[in-house]
Amino acid sequence: MPNTATSHMGKDQFVIGVDYGTDSVRSLIVNAANGNEIASSVFFYPRWKDGLYCNPAENVWRQHPLDYIEGLESTIKACLQQAGAAVAQNIRAISVDTTGSTPVAVDESGTPLGLLPGFEQNPNAQFVLWKDHSSIKEAAAINTHSATFDVNYLQFVGGIYSSEWFWAKLLHILRVDDSVRKACYSWVEHCDWIPFLLTGGRHAAAMKRGVCAAGHKALWAKEFNGYPPDEFFSSLDPLLKAFTTRLPKTTYTADQAAGPISPEWAQRLGLNPNVIIGVGAFDAHMGAVGGQIEPYHLSKVMGTSTCDMLVAPLKEVEGLLVKGICGQVPGSVIPGMMGMEAGQSAFGDAYAWFRNLIAWPLQLIDNPAASGNSATNNVDAIIDKIIPQLSRHAAALPLEPNDELSLDWFNGRRTPDANQLLKGAITGLSLGSDAPRVFRSIVEATCFGARTIVDRFISEGVPVKGLIGLGGVAKKSPFIMQMMADVMNRPLRIHSSEQTCALGAAMFAATAAGLYPKVEEAMNAIGQGFDATYTPDPARAAIYELRLRRYGQLGQFVEHTTKDYE
């Protein structure tokens, strides 16, 4: 239940959290005094749903800025209509989280090229989604190049640069598209662009960039006095020359205000002109706050992929560099604390892949040209039942040491030790390997991948005192969550909120508006607590320890084989 304690700032003041996910955007109106959720709305990106600007076979995943703009307007207006005029008049602030690294090329005014004439249908002028891995070669070049410098510019991002991140994606786009290269003034993260849009920004150089995106994905660090020097990038490829000069050295934590809403957007949304827009951040970072993260408790945002967040007091981890994670950035989650990020490139995506694989024959039924009729309204309903039914049957299977075994690198490996060239695997198959058994092995693999992250933190000197589960998979699948607790051999608490990322954004909005002096106070007042705890089964945990070792052996084999084909 929401916390009913009223804060010192009084009653009936409301904030909006906007959560941009992979498939949709959700807006949420929250009572800033007690966390009561007043209204929510979801908008599914129409161009993304139609597969526009994407090429899965080439790991190209792009999203049009119009999907984001239309979703922003649609969801906020729908929320305000649900909430009523009295609430609309008392909206104090809006904060936004997005997927990341999801950057886009902009002109000098800060307008994404995909919104300009001549670029509307160009995939390279759209936002490059986090899971786009078309820049694998560029990431490899950055890693090789960094070794030639006396200063280790990768030290705060786990020592390995990923194709999922800012600079690799920029370099790839500049290399493959001359028209975009000539028009590109700067390169901007989605989470920085939406606040810029809402505040009426007119020049990319004046855009307030969040420390979350800059530190975890773009190599910003106070130790470097900002970003690595231009020489680091221009000597890698002259195409990158001068890009750092268009990036501000100062970054901001998400409890700060980006500015007031612009008159245009206030009128467009039906809001007062004194609404504050907060600095943006990534979904998992704000989601960790929405899920009431605690020091040394790993907050797992589990959706299409996972992002695992851990915070620690700065003094306690001073001088400690964790290898192979997605970065450690002061203030990226909670200002005044070290934010550490890890994660898996495929989690729910792995389950969806298997569902789509075994559901392929249903496409024949749904195709009038193939089946001779247009019936089959039930096809989507049948597909929706596949994972719940697989989970039910898989949960009933006995657990044996020699069961089918899978590797969860279906979209490469994010952490530990980023390598997007790696592939998934399924082994130990026999004629008795039916769909529930194979599905169970894939679920098990994602849990083993999660365990390797915990083990890496511990081996690097960072304790993991507890686990917090957030996101759609955490709320919807007791089967997967129980297996996660068994594999981790640790209790796993599930947060009550169905939408912790949007709720976390609302907490930051309340802080940016000055309703709370610190985001921790907003978290305590607005947080909704936990509604489930999964406790490990000792007998199953012992078997999983055996299978975890075999998972590691399988991973070593696949990694060695992959190197042979590079």
Residue 311 resides in a domain: no
Give residue 11's pLDDT: 60
Q: Both 492 and 510 in a single domain?
A: no
148 SS3 class:
coil
The answer to the question of residue 342 being in a domain is no
Is the separation of the CB atoms in 89 and 59 below 8 Å?
Answer: no
How far apart CA 426 and CA 441 sit, in angstroms, is 8
The answer as to whether 378 is a domain residue is yes
Query: Which pLDDT belongs to residue 5?
Result: 38
Cβ count near 267 (within 10 Å): 11
Residue 119 pLDDT: 98
Q: Model-level pTM?
A: 0.90
Token pair, residue 177, equals 């598209």
* Inside any domain, residue 331: no
Same domain for 162 and 181, yes or no, is yes
Same domain, 122 and 173: yes
- In this structure, the answer to whether residues 516 and 552 fall within a common structural domain is no
Q: What is the pLDDT of residue 566?
A: 54
The CATH number assigned to the domain holding 465 equals 3.30.420.40
* Confidence (pLDDT) at 417: 94
Let me know if residue 52 belongs to a domain.
yes
Q: Are residues 136 and 240 in the same domain?
A: yes
Can you tell me which residue has the tokens 């390598």? 419
- Residues 461, 365, single domain; the answer is yes
Do residues 449 and 487 touch, judged by C-beta distance below 8 A? Answer: no
Same-domain check for residues 479 and 517: no
Mean pLDDT by 10 residues, the chain (566 residues): 43 92 96 95 97 94 98 98 96 97 98 98 97 95 97 96 96 98 98 98 96 98 96 98 95 98 97 97 96 96 92 95 94 96 94 96 67 60 94 97 97 92 96 98 98 97 96 92 98 94 97 97 94 97 98 96 69
With both helix axes pointing from N to C terminus, report the angle between 500-512 and 283-290 in degrees, rounded to the nearest 10: 90
Give the whole-angstrom CA distance, residue 284 versus residue 294. 14
Structural domain boundaries, residue 471: 348-496+536-565
> 221 and 156 in contact (C-beta within 8 Å)?
yes
Q: What is the pLDDT of residue 8?
A: 47
How far, rounded to the nearest angstrom, does the alpha carbon of residue 63 sit from its chain's CA centroid?
Answer: 15
| Separation between Cα atoms, residue 219 and residue 155, nearest integer Å | 9
- Mark whether 46 and 106 lie in a shared domain: yes
Q: How many domains does the chain have?
A: 2
Instruction: Say yes or no: 398 and 512 in one domain.
Output: no
Query: Within this chain, do residues 152 and 204 fall inside the same structural domain, yes or no?
Result: yes
Give pLDDT, residue 372: 47
Run of H or E residues at 258 = strand 257-260
Together in a domain, 527 and 554: no
Is beta strand 37-44 parallel, antiparallel or unpaired with respect to 24-31? antiparallel
Q: How many residues does the structure list for the chain? A: 566
Q: Are residues 22 and 98 in the same domain?
A: yes
Q: Rounded distance, CA 213 to CA 191, Å?
A: 8
